[in-house]
Every structure is written in C-alpha cells, then in structure tokens.
Amino acid sequence: MPSHDPTPFDHNAALAACARGDQGALRRLYEREHRFLMGVALRIVRDRAAAEDVLHDAFMAIWNRASTFDPNRGEGRGWMCSIVRNGALSAVRANARTVSVDEELLDDLQNAELQAAPDMLDAFSMRSTLGQLDHCLERLDVAKRNCVLLAYLDGCTHAEIAERLSAPLGSVKAWIRRGMASLKECLA
C-alpha cells in the first residue's frame, strides 16, 4: 500500500543509505512510510499511544539494524513492515503478561469474607487460607495465573480472556484447568 506520493521510491537504496549513517535517508523513509506503518501498528495494538511507541521503536530498530537488511531476501518496505508488526505483537504480549490485581479489590474481598465468618476462629482460618491462596497464585506460571485471575476475579469468559491475552481459546481453557488443578494441589 504505497503512500500518496506517485513518484517511485527505492526503499532498498534508502535502507542501504541508513546503514552508511545517512540520517536524511531515515527521514525520507519516515516521511514516506510513517502513516502506513502507524496503521499497521494501530491495527495490532488498538491504542494510539502504544502504536506511536511501537512506531518510534521500529524506526530506531530500522536505523540501528539497517545494515542487516538483505535485499536478496525481500523488499525493504516488507522488512520495515515486519519490524513494526513484530514490535506491535511484542507490545500486545507484554501487556497481556501483566494482569494487575487491584489491592483494594483483594482487601475488599478479604474483608467481605471476614465479615461473613461467624466467629474469630473462622476469621483467622479465612485470613490464613487467603494468604495461602496468594502464595499458591504466585507459584503459578504467568499464563495460568493471568487466566485464573481474569476468570475468577474479573469474571471474564474464556473467549474474553483469549481475546484480551491474544491467545487461542483452547490454550486459555487448558491454562485455567491446569491452574485450578495446581491451586487445588497447593492448597491441599
């Protein structure tokens, strides 16, 4: 999808110039392709600020790795697009890896459970169990922990979790099942 400029542009030559340290070549590549590459990033990360970060990082990578571009393996524009695409996918994965557990939500959950306990012994037992649960959750690998928390704490469906983590639905179901089995074993 070429930019609106009808004149031919030699991406391969511009990348070779970047490899020689020609900053003007990088500027020309940016002016020529930033809109298209921003669209690629935006379609993947679905957040303008994140897409801008991806695009910035991609042009830094293009500048730093221009000498590794091999025109015998493909076109320069495709190489640039793959850098943006890979950067965007990495950004999505990085965001999916960290599912934050709201401390206030956990405190509210603990307090609600404690209020439901009829006496102090039950309250003590409940707090002990919740502490052990927290310990067991920390022992789970990231994918299982995130899936379990999203399913049981946030109330997300399996399909919502798969979409949110950009993971296959079958993997999400397996991670939840294995995560719950690990928690059961840890809490036993």
Domain containing 46 — which CATH number?
1.10.1740.10
The answer on 132 and 156 residing in a single domain is yes
The answer on 143 and 73 residing in a single domain is no
134-176 tens-digit pLDDT:
778 888 888 888 888 888 777 788 998 888 888 899 999 999 9
37-66 tens-digit pLDDT:
998 888 888 888 889 999 999 999 999 999
Number of domains forming the structure of the chain: 2
* Secondary structure (DSSP) of 32-83: HHHHHHHHHHHHHH--HHHHHHHHHHHHHHHHHHGGG--TTTS-HHHHHHHH
- Range(s) of the domain holding residue 136: 103-187
Closest CA to 168 of 143, 140, 137: 143
Residue at which a domain ends, from 75, 97, 119? 97
Least confident piece of the model among 1-5, 25-29, 173-177: 1-5
